[in-house]
Structure 1
Amino acid sequence: MTKILNVENLEKSYDSGSKKLTILKDINFSVEAKETFAIVGPSGSGKTTLLGLCAGLDQPDSGVVELCGVQLNGLTEDERALLRNKKVGFIFQDFQLLPTLTALENVAVPLELQGDKHASKRALELLEKVGLKDRTHHYPSQLSGGEQQRVALARAFSNRPEILIADEPTGNLDADTGEKVVKLLFDLNKEEGTTLVIVTHDIELAQKTGHILKLKGGQIIENTKTAL
């Protein structure tokens, strides 16, 4: 299988006063194309830092990250941003929709930035798939939390990413709404043939994936494929 994300000997620390605080140590794992993969661990285990390094939002002290066949080490910030725009989709806990744009415009933005003339058509199709066909011209402030996350979901898939990274996608939603969003996420992911990486502290959500990586104190304590 093709590795879409490969991490080798990753280390990251920060200066905290006169001390050096180690956030991640000796991290090694890979994610195969079209795999569903969960990174789990308690708060402070290094999940968010690892996510930033895997997406090229930050750089490690040492080690290698290869994303979509490209080694991130040595790329400029602009080159890493370009790779993300073309190959990676993101879903965040706090939705991160642009408040001055409608649902349709929010979903179309990544495509418009790439000069896609069919951006609105693709955005409309995706909003229909997540059940928001009648909310296309509503602004984020006019949508519930669950609806906003469904818009974010549609946006994440808009540019047909090779890998989608979901950071605590149900963190701001009630259990029932969260369950519906997760079902949509997995259904869309399967339909689009995307690789899905979910960062979560929710073990039930993690168990819906085919591979679980557990972090504790900045180190991997478990790396197992599930019996899906």
Structure 2
Amino acid sequence: MTKILNVHNLKKVYTSGSKKLTVLDNISFSIEAGSSFAIVGPSGSGKTTLLGLCAGLDQIDEGTITLCGEDLNGLNEDQRALLRNEKVGFIFQDFQLLPTLTALENVSVPLELQGVKNASKDAKELLDKVGLGSRYDHYPSQLSGGEQQRVALARAFSTKPEILFADEPTGNLDEETGKKVIKLLFDLNKEMGTTLVIVTHDLDLARLNQHVLRLKGGKIVINETTAIS
């Protein structure tokens, strides 16, 4: 199958004064298009840093990352932003909805930026799919955490991304609400054929994916296609 993400000998070092902290060291893996992939590990293991690098949100210190056929090392900031806008979706732990926009407007904006003519119609269809057909005109402050994350799901899938990065998507939700959101995430992912990359500390969520990469201290300790314990 086609590899949508290739990471080779990746290293990331942060400098604070005279001290250097290696956050990621010699990270190599690949992800097949259309698959689901979990990155797990304790706090401070480097998993969120890894996600940011793979998505082109941060600069690589050493190594290479190829995302959707593009070598991120060879792209400037504007080119990386264009790649993200055209082919990448995001879901964050804290939802990151625009507070001054309604649910419908939050989902419509990415479509409008891509020049979609029926942005509002498409956005309504997605909100219907995530069970928010009665919440079009509600602002984020008028929605529960679970509802806000469902709006974020609809927004993330609105542009039909080739790959979607989800950073602790249930981190701010209670267990029951989190399970509902995850079911919607996997259902939409399957329907649209998107590649799904989930960063999580939740091993139960990780086991729902086809592949699991586990980090500890910035290094890979597990890289397998079977469930982990």
TM-score (norm 2): 0.98
What one-letter code is carried by the residue in structure 2 that aligns with 1:38? Answer: A
Q: Where does the alignment leave 5 or more consecutive residues of structure 1 unmatched?
A: none
Residue number in structure 2 paired with 1:49? 49
What one-letter code is carried by the residue in structure 2 that aligns with 1:16? Answer: S
Residue number in structure 2 paired with 1:65? 65
Residue number in structure 1 paired with 2:159? 159
Q: What is the RMSD of the two structures over their aligned residues, measured on CA atoms?
A: 0.7
Whether 2:225 is the aligned partner of 1:225: answer yes
Which whole-Å CA distance do the structure 2 matches of 1:76 and 1:94 have between them? Answer: 28
Which whole-Å CA distance do the structure 2 matches of 1:90 and 1:56 have between them? Answer: 12
| Residue 145 of structure 1, CA deviation | 0.2
Which whole-Å CA distance do the structure 2 matches of 1:118 and 1:6 have between them? Answer: 35
Which whole-Å CA distance do the structure 1 matches of 2:132 and 2:51 have between them? Answer: 29
Which whole-Å CA distance do the structure 2 matches of 1:63 and 1:85 have between them? Answer: 24
Q: How does 1:1-228 map to 2 (within 5 A)?
A: 1-226=1-226
Counterpart contact for 1:40–1:202, Cα < 8 Å: yes
Which whole-Å CA distance do the structure 2 matches of 1:64 and 1:3 have between them? Answer: 14
What one-letter code is carried by the residue in structure 1 that aligns with 2:56? Answer: G
Identity of aligned residues (%): 77
Which whole-Å CA distance do the structure 2 matches of 1:207 and 1:32 have between them? Answer: 17
1:73 is paired with a residue whose SS is: helix
Counterpart contact for 1:104–1:124, Cα < 8 Å: yes
Q: How many residues align?
A: 227
| Residue 156 of structure 1, CA deviation | 0.2
Counterpart contact for 1:126–1:158, Cα < 8 Å: yes
Q: Where does the alignment leave 5 or more consecutive residues of structure 2 unmatched?
A: none
| Residue 115 of structure 1, CA deviation | 1.1
| Residue 226 of structure 1, CA deviation | 2.2
Which whole-Å CA distance do the structure 2 matches of 1:33 and 1:94 have between them? Answer: 27
Could you report, residue by residue, the CA deviation over 1:86-120 in whole angstroms, capped at 9, with x for unpaired residues?
Answer: 10010000000000110001001111011111111
Moved more, 179-188 or 110-119: 110-119
Which whole-Å CA distance do the structure 2 matches of 1:222 and 1:98 have between them? Answer: 37
Could you report, residue by residue, the CA deviation over 1:157-207 in whole angstroms, capped at 9, with x for unpaired residues?
Answer: 000000010000000000000000000000010001100000000000000
- Structure 1 segments, 4+ long, off by >3 Å, are none
| Residue 17 of structure 1, CA deviation | 2.3
Which whole-Å CA distance do the structure 2 matches of 1:213 and 1:224 have between them? Answer: 7
Which whole-Å CA distance do the structure 2 matches of 1:39 and 1:142 have between them? Answer: 32
What one-letter code is carried by the residue in structure 2 that aligns with 1:224? Answer: E
| Residue 59 of structure 1, CA deviation | 1.1
What one-letter code is carried by the residue in structure 2 that aligns with 1:58? Answer: D
